[in-house]
Structure 1
């Protein structure tokens, strides 16, 4: 009986800590907003970066941890020029989002998650903290599912 309980606990733990390798249908169909105000699906964003590694940075201009992480992120950008950087904002409104991009001089592609924290994209990735970094392989699969700093060992080792 003890062996069965131990096996069950190990299996449960591995399921809890397993990472997604692809985004679900609902996340892919979530609508984002471009800097020019037009709507685009998350799937279209990913398609625009097909065949390249992509680092998603989910952030907001009001997020102290996000702001504190920008210098390290900029160092990553200098070191890993082959990676596309895509910023997904959870700001409260479009004006604050655009002001944050300018204020922090963020280089990359920028989108506003209009559905917010509880929308299909954020819900599907179990978003519980920002910043959140997700590394996507050139083949489109998720290589690093959950990093909250750019110094995360899994993130650094896979870049």
Structure 2
């Protein structure tokens, strides 16, 4: 009986974690670098798109799955013209980051995460894999906390709304 109750509680905790609907203050205050080289907080980025649906793509140029997923992201962009696409990079250097963006002709807003995996942003969202896709709705709430494929059925369904 104890095992069953423990299992149910663990499942409940995992479900609650998976359903985060807002970013922590640590994530919001984390500083990224824009493609132009300016520092900007994550909250400032979100604020600049207030009232819009935002798809966040956390990726890296060294990530095979990220590169494979890029054509699927481009398809999403074609089908969802009213969605803001934010690309947050975990590349090791800004030079590499910019080269990969140019090489794959990635369109959208691009930001570099200087502290990488150990950044307050990545830690607060429990980042354990890239690519990682998140969706923020026009009200500023997280509608999709975690998807690892751009053709994830739930991701596509949320974008249709």
The Cα of 1:6 is off from its aligned counterpart by 3.3
Matches within 5 A, 1:65-144: 65-144=65-144
The Cα of 1:11 is off from its aligned counterpart by 3.1
The Cα of 1:46 is off from its aligned counterpart by 0.6
* SS in structure 1 of the partner of residue 118 of structure 2: coil
Mapped to 2, the partners of 1:62 and 1:97 lie a distance apart of 9
Q: For residue 62 of structure 1, what is the aligned residue in structure 2?
A: 62
* SS in structure 2 of the partner of residue 11 of structure 1: helix
Q: For residue 149 of structure 1, what is the aligned residue in structure 2?
A: 149
The Cα of 1:8 is off from its aligned counterpart by 4.3
CA contact (8 A) 1:27 1:121 kept: yes
Mapped to 2, the partners of 1:101 and 1:17 lie a distance apart of 35
Match of 1:15 among 13, 16, 26: 13
Q: Which runs of 4+ in 1 moved over 4 A?
A: none
The Cα of 1:7 is off from its aligned counterpart by 4.3
* SS in structure 2 of the partner of residue 17 of structure 1: helix
Give me the TM-score of the superposition, normalised by structure 2: 0.93
The Cα of 1:32 is off from its aligned counterpart by 0.2
